[in-house]
Amino acid sequence: MPLQDLLFAALLFLLILLLLFLGRKKIVALYRRCFGKQKSEETFRIIEENRLSGKESTLLRTYFKGLSYVIANETDKAVAEFVKVARIDTTTAEIYLALGQLFRNNGEMERAIRVHRDILLRPNLPDEVRKQTFFEIGLDYKRAGLFDRACRTFEEILTRDPKNFAARQELYSLYENLKEWEKALTLHDSSPSTQNEINIIAHLTTEVAKAAEASGDREKALIFFQQALEVDDSCIDAWLHYGDFLKSEKQLAEALAAWERAFRLNPDFVSLITSRFSKLKEEERDKVEEEFFSRHLEEFGEKRKFNLIYISWLIKTEQLTEAGDRLKRVMTEKRGDAEVFSLVRNLLNKIRISGDLNRDLYDSLVRNFFSTQLRFEKAYRCRKCGYQLDVMVWKCPRCATWDTIAVR
Q: What is the pLDDT of residue 65?
A: 55
Give CA–CA dist 297/322, Å, rounded: 13
Which neighbouring-strand residues pair with 382?
405
Q: What is the pLDDT of residue 351?
A: 78
Cβ-defined contacts of 230-233 (< 8 Å, 24+): 231/198, 231/201, 231/202, 231/205, 232/198, 232/199, 232/201, 232/202
Is residue 395 one of the residues assigned to a domain? yes
Sign, CA dihedral 365-366-367-368, equals positive
CB 137 within 8 A of CB 103: no
CB 13 within 8 A of CB 94: yes
**Mean pLDDT of the region 70-85:** 56
Q: Is the pLDDT of residue 56 over 60?
A: no
Q: What is the pLDDT of residue 274?
A: 96
In the structure, what pLDDT confidence band is assigned to residue 32 with cuts at 50, 70 and 90? Answer: very low
Is residue 389 one of the residues assigned to a domain? yes
Determine the distance from the C-alpha atom of residue 240 to the mean position of all C-alpha atoms in its chain, rounded to a whole number: 22
Which neighbouring-strand residues pair with 402?
395
Is residue 407 one of the residues assigned to a domain? yes
In the structure, what pLDDT confidence band is assigned to residue 75 with cuts at 50, 70 and 90? Answer: low
Return the ∠ at Cα 33 (arms to 29 and 37), rounded to 5°: 150
Q: How many residues does the chain have?
A: 408
In the structure, what pLDDT confidence band is assigned to residue 366 with cuts at 50, 70 and 90? Answer: low
**Mean pLDDT lowest for which of 230-234, 240-244, 348-352, 359-363?**
359-363
Q: Specify the number of domains making up the chain.
A: 1
309: Cα within 13 Å, side-chain hemisphere? 26
In the structure, what pLDDT confidence band is assigned to residue 47 with cuts at 50, 70 and 90? Answer: very low
What's the domain range around 383? 378-408
Sign, CA dihedral 178-179-183-189, equals positive
Q: What is the pLDDT of residue 191?
A: 77
CB 374 within 8 A of CB 336: yes
Give CA–CA dist 218/368, Å, rounded: 51
CB 288 within 8 A of CB 256: yes
pLDDT tens sequence across 80-135: 655 555 454 444 666 777 778 877 887 889 988 988 888 788 777 788 888 999 99
Nearest to 137 by CA among 113, 154, 163, 158: 113
Is residue 385 one of the residues assigned to a domain? yes
CB 380 within 8 A of CB 389: yes
CB 209 within 8 A of CB 241: yes
**Mean pLDDT of the region 196-224:** 95
Give CA–CA dist 242/261, Å, rounded: 11
The β-bridge relationship of strands 405-407 and 380-382 is: antiparallel
Is residue 118 one of the residues assigned to a domain? no
Q: What is the pTM of this model?
A: 0.73
Question: What amino acid occupies position 197?
Answer: E
Is residue 294 one of the residues assigned to a domain? no
Highest mean pLDDT among 94-103, 166-175, 192-201: 166-175
CB 179 within 8 A of CB 207: yes
Tell me the DSSP string of 140-208.
HHHHHT-HHHHHHHHHHHHHH-TT-HHHHHHHHHHHHHTT-HHHHHHHHHT-GGGTT-HHHHHHHHHHH
120: Cα within 13 Å, side-chain hemisphere? 12
Which neighbouring-strand residues pair with 389?
380
Is residue 164 one of the residues assigned to a domain? no
CB 180 within 8 A of CB 188: no
**Mean pLDDT lowest for which of 218-222, 301-305, 344-348?**
344-348
Is residue 345 one of the residues assigned to a domain? no
More confident residue, 215 or 49: 215
